[in-house]
Amino acid sequence: MLIKKITLKNFRNHTFLSFDFSRRLNILSGPNALGKTNVAEAIYYLSLGQSFRTDEDITLIQKNEDRAEIEAVITEGELVRKINVVITKLGRTIAVNGKNISKLSDLSKCVNVILFQPKDVSLFKGPPRDRRHFLDISISKKSAIYLDYLSRYNKILKQRNNLLKSDTVDETLLEVTTELMIKLAGSIISYRQLYVKDNNDILNKITRSLTGDKGTFELKYYPFVPYDANFNENAKNAFKKVEEGDLRRKQTSIGIHREDLSISHNGRDIASFGSQSENRIAALALKLSPYFLITDKDKKPIVVLDDVMSELDQRHQDSLIKFLRKFNQVFITGTKLDIPNCNHLLIKPKTKEVI
């Protein structure tokens, strides 16, 4: 996929900004607070219908304005799609080729963006929720049905928790709800297991390209019960074991909403033993890996690296740029990016009005 053009109106600090993007490397360089991350945010918004910096769309609207707009032209091979996002204080609408979309999965089919931001360096040290989020987003970009499994699971989980909170728990209803949860959990775990398995080869290819290091990184996934021929029985037993505790604490203590991932380097856990640099490389490689898992060339994701280069030493910067030149389309933001043979985009700083 390629973003050919983007136009922002009253989006954050950009009153009006229009860029034609090229294939390969697009560079947004300049001083702090120019609005570079805001452009990255708009590109990301196109793929998920949400920002990576806020849950409140209203903050995306320029101060003292009523609406923000993002317009973009996206191509997928010969297919050309025009995406329009309008955000107002009352809500937002997203249209693809003039037709409003109702499901976000319809949007993520049209635009696929991989984002890496400085805080991703602590992906492995941070809370499990961030790692599950990464895993879920990556899988859903490859298999749209996964999002449906997830949202159905989350609904049932809510029902189960409400049930556990009720004064007199209906035992039969609890059993039926748990069984439904187990069924959906089985599908989700099978996707997660497969994704992690496929990911490991790619992960090592990426880290070797970036560092020359021949060591082995291994991504590990810890399902609450592994998905195999005995999954149903094992999961039922696992739920039985925790039922008393769940009833006491009035919440579901096991399930796919509590699982985690870890990564090791030469057998040692990165989060506990890895240097900052190893953590950064592992997180970067993991974030880039979905690019290689999507085999259809036209559907390959657009990559956005926000403010990542300054954190790397010169050697790692050079090998990362060399590596990224093979990608269909990449956006890199930073304060000083003097990289040859790229499309350098210019954000003009606002001149102060003279009174």
Question: Could you count the other beta carbons within 10 Å of the beta carbon of residue 245?
Answer: 11
Which CB, 41 or 246, lies closer to ligand ADP? 41
CB-wise, 118 or 226, nearer to ligand ADP?
Answer: 118
Secondary structure of the chain in HEC code, one letter for each residue? CEEEEEEEEEECCEEEEEEECCCEEEEEECCCCCCHHHHHHHHHHHHHCCCCCCCCHHHHECCCCCEEEEEEEEEECCEEEEEEEEEECCEEEEEECCEECCCHHHHHHHCCEEEECHHHHHCCCCCHHHHHHHHHHHHHHHCCHHHHHHHHHHHHHHHHHHHHHCCCCCHHHHHHHHHHHHHHHHHHHHHHHHHHHHHHHHHHHHHHHHHCCCCCEEEEEECCCCCCCCHHHHHHHHHHHHHHHHHHHCCCCCCHHHCEEEEEECCEEHHHHCCHHHHHHHHHHHHHHHHHHCCCHHHCCEEEEECCHHHCCHHHHHHHHHHHCCCCEEEEEECCCCCCCCEEECCCCCCCCCC
Residue 71 or residue 307: which is nearer to Mg ion going by CB?
307
Candidate residues 26, 38, 112, 207; the one interacting with ligand ADP per rule CB under 6 A: 38
Which residues, in sequence order, are bridge partners of residue 218?
264
Give me the residue whose beta carbon is nearest to Mg ion: 37
Cα 119 to Cα 114: distance, rounded to the nearest angstrom: 14
166 binds ligand ADP (CB under 6 A): no
Residue 12 site contact among Mg ion, ligand ADP, none (CB < 5 to 8 Å, cut-off depends on kind) = ligand ADP
Contact (CB, 8 A) for 10 and 65 = yes
59 binds, among ligand ADP, Mg ion, none (CB under 5 to 8 A by kind): ligand ADP
Task: Give the x/- contact pattern for Mg ion in 19-58, rule: CB under 5 A.
Answer: ------------------x---------------------
**What does 79 interact with, of Mg ion, ligand ADP, none (CB < 5 to 8 A by kind)?**
none
Distance CA 160, CA 153 (A): 10
Question: Residue 32 binds which entry of Mg ion, ligand ADP, none, with Cβ cut-offs from 5 to 8 Å by kind?
Answer: ligand ADP
Min dist. Cβ of residue 260 to Mg ion (A) = 29
- Closest CB to ligand ADP among 13 and 209? 13
Q: What are the tokens at 99?
A: 């037709």
Q: Is residue 33 involved in binding ligand ADP (CB under 6 A)?
A: yes
Cβ at position 61, least distance to ligand ADP in Å: 6
Cβ-based neighbour number of residue 23 at 10 Å: 12
Closest distance between ligand ADP and the C-beta of residue 161, in Å? 36
* Number of residues counted as binding Mg ion (CB under 5 A): 2
What does 314 interact with, of Mg ion, ligand ADP, none (CB < 5 to 8 A by kind)?
none
Decide if residue 35 touches ligand ADP (CB under 6 A). yes
Taking a C-beta distance cutoff of 8 angstroms, is the pair 69, 18 a contact?
A: no
Choose the contact partner of 62 out of ligand ADP, Mg ion, none; CB within 5 to 8 A by kind: ligand ADP
Minimum Å distance from CB 40 to Mg ion?
Answer: 7
Site for ligand ADP, residues 171 to 200, rule: CB under 6 A: none
Q: Which is nearer to ligand ADP, 62 or 253 (CB)?
A: 62
Site string for ligand ADP, 49-78 (x = CB under 6 A): ----------x-xxx---------------
Identified binder of ligand ADP from the candidate list 36, 92, 141, 192, rule CB under 6 A:
36
Pick one of 1, 2, 3, 12: the residue that binds ligand ADP (CB under 6 A): 12
Nearer to Mg ion, 2 or 8 (CB): 8
How far apart, in whole angstroms, are the C-alpha atoms of residue 36 and residue 176?
Answer: 50
Task: Give me the residues that bind Mg ion (CB under 5 A), please.
Answer: 37, 307
- Residues near ligand ADP, by CB under 6 A: 12-13, 32-38, 59, 61-63
